[in-house]
């Protein structure tokens, strides 16, 4: 039956791979962290002892109680099954260790909007600018400035965003004092849709967004440029020019449109991958997003928070990829035909 319906087989294969890959990644990460020789509960109970000067009996009952709270009791297999049950059936990611007893879902819920804002604004800005400049660089590739822009983009694309962030913080933040260097907004403004808050929000986010945009726009410029260059020989472009259409029109309607599909899919995949946030950028700019939470969770081996964030990241990347895989045959008839012919 599968051989007779190749399109169905394709979709089924993609969904099966999706489920299996998420499960595999989830399991490997779970065991990887639990098998590390760390014991956060013991360390924490000991620190409690120190704080309360041993007025509370900190015997094994307390350790067991906390172990139960965090799901660390029982064998590794039991822990795994219990955790899977909690996450999938009860949608409960467990309490967070560093912010006990706040459940992890709540913590992530508080921080996710910040990361989404930061990453979303950066990626979309970089995409738009990259598409524009890539189009120009590819179209006018004989000109000297196109080559210069290309080389500059190659240079820029390899630098990790936080290194650029260091330069920006140093010069624009400290030396020139133009932008604030930490936090998401000034604490004195009430959160809401008033102009001071929004202004403060934008001002604080300028440097982190600039760091990410500078680095990612280069990659978009380069990929758009290559795509446009491969289109340059096409007949329909010659025809459009022969008809007498303005160059800007031709660029936009014939050039860019055809390069859009791969770039749009790449955008979706990039947005999916942005969920884990740029951890180092958030730490550098002390931005209250998921990355900053992740760094503290790693430090204290807060398993629940760690797994929660990693799960979110795995899930969003795979889902974006799956959506693209499912939509592509619908959007692009050439691929649909290729699948059916296979």
Partner 1 sequence: MQFLINSWKNSGKFKFGVIVLVVLVLIAVCAPLIYRPIIGDVSPARPGVFQRWLPASPQHPLGTDGHGRDTLTDFLAGLQTTLFIGFFAGFLATTVGVIVGFISGYKGGAIDTALITFTNILLIIPAYPILVGLTLVLPNKSMVTVALIVALFSWPFAARTIRAQVMSMKEQPYVELAKVTGQGDLAIIFTEIMPNLLPYVLMSFAFSTVGAMVAEVGIAVIGLGPSDAISLGMLINFAGSWGAFTRGLYLMLLLPPAILILIFLSLTLINRGMEEYLNPRLQNVTGQ
Show the tokens assigned to 313. Answer: 């990241």
Q: Is 285 in the site for partner 1 (CB under 8 A)?
A: no
State which residue, 109 or 160, has the beta carbon closest to partner 1.
160
Residue 103 bridge partners (DSSP): 95
User: Contacting partner 1 (CB under 8 A), which of 108, 135, 168, 294?
Assistant: 294
Query: If residue 163 lies in a helix (H) or strand (E), which one and from where to where?
Result: helix 161-168
- Span 39-98, contacts to partner 1 by CB under 8 A: none
Q: From residue 21 to residue 40, what is the string marking binding to partner 1 with x (rule CB under 8 A)? A: xx-xx--xx--xx--xxx--
Q: Which is nearer to partner 1, 62 or 326 (CB)?
A: 326
Whether omega before 101 lies within 30 degrees of 0, making that bond cis, reads: yes
CB burial class (10 A; 0-12, 13-18, 19+) of residue 31?
Answer: middle
What are the C-alpha distances in Å from 134 to residues 16, 147, 161, 271?
37, 11, 20, 20
Among 6, 14, 17, 49, binds partner 1 (CB under 8 A): 17
Alpha carbons 66 and 71: distance in angstroms, whole number:
8
Q: Which stretch binds partner 1 (CB under 8 A): 13-21, 48-56, 114-122, 190-198?
A: 13-21
Interface pick for partner 1 out of 64, 151, 249, 337 (rule CB under 8 A): 151
Which one, 63 or 310, has the nearer CB to partner 1?
310
State whether residue 273 is helix, strand or coil.
helix
Q: Smallest distance, Å, CB 62 to partner 1?
A: 25
Rounded CA-CA distance 262/309 in Å is 29
> Hey, what are 210's tokens?
């600039």
| CA–CA distances in Å: residue 204 to residues 26, 214, 286 | 35, 17, 11
Residue with tokens 């693209």, as numbered in its chain: 324
Q: Which of 205, 211, 224, 313 touches partner 1 (CB under 8 A)?
A: 313
Q: Which is nearer to partner 1, 41 or 306 (CB)?
A: 306
Measured between its terminal Cα atoms, the distance across the chain in Å is: 15
Distance of CA 280 to the CA centre of its chain: 13
| Segment near partner 1 (CB under 8 A); pick from 166-174, 185-193, 209-217, 255-263 | 166-174
C-alpha to C-alpha distances, 254 to 10, 119, 127, 263, 331, nearest whole angstrom? 31, 30, 19, 15, 17
CB of 38 to partner 1, least distance (A): 6
160 counts as binding partner 1 under rule CB under 8 A: yes
Judged by CB under 8 A, the number of residues near partner 1 is: 46
Range 179-218, binding partner 1 (CB under 8 A): 181
Does 326 bind partner 1 (CB under 8 A)? Our answer is no
Determine, following the binding rule CB under 8 A, whether residue 298 of this chain makes contact with partner 1.
yes
Applying CB under 8 A, which residues contact partner 1?
A: 17, 20-22, 24-25, 28-29, 32-33, 36-38, 151, 154-155, 157-160, 162-163, 166-167, 169-170, 173-175, 181, 276, 279-280, 283, 294-295, 298-299, 301, 306, 309-310, 313-314, 317-318
């Amino acid at each position: 039956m599968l051989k007779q319906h190749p399109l169905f087989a394709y979709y089924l294969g993609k969904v099966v791979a999706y489920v299996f890959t998420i499960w595999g990644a989830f399991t490997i990460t779970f065991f990887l962290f639990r098998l590390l020789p760390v014991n956060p509960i013991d360390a924490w109970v000991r620190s409690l002892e120190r704080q309360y000067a041993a007025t509370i009996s900190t015997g094994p009952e307390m350790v067991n109680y906390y172990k139960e709270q965090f799901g660390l009791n029982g064998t590794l297999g039991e822990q795994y099954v219990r955790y899977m049950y909690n996450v999938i059936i009860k949608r409960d990611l467990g309490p967070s260790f560093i912010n006990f007893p706040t459940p992890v879902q709540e913590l992530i819920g508080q921080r996710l909007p910040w990361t989404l804002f930061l990453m979303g604004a950066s990626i979309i800005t970089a995409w738009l600018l990259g598409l524009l400049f890539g189009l120009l660089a590819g179209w006018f590739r004989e000109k000297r400035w196109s080559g210069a822009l290309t080389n500059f983009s190659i240079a820029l694309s390899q630098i990790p965003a936080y290194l650029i962030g260091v330069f920006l913080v140093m010069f624009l933040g400290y030396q020139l004092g133009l932008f604030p260097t930490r936090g998401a907004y000034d604490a004195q403004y009430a959160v809401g849709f008033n102009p001071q808050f929004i202004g403060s929000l934008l001002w604080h986010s300028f440097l982190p967004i600039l760091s990410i945009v500078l680095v990612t726009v280069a990659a978009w410029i380069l990929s758009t440029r290559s795509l446009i260059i491969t289109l340059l020989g096409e007949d329909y472009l010659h025809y459009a020019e022969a008809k007498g259409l303005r160059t800007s029109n031709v660029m936009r309607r014939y050039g860019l449109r055809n390069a859009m599909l791969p770039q749009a899919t790449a955008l979706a995949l990039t947005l999916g991958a942005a969920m884990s946030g740029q951890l180092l950028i958030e730490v550098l700019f002390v931005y209250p997003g998921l990355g900053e939470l992740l760094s503290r969770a790693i430090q204290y081996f807060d398993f629940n928070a760690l797994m929660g964030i990693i799960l979110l990241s795995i899930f969003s990347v795979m889902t974006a990829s799956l959506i693209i895989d499912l939509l592509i045959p619908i959007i692009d008839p050439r691929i649909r035909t290729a699948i059916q012919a296979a």
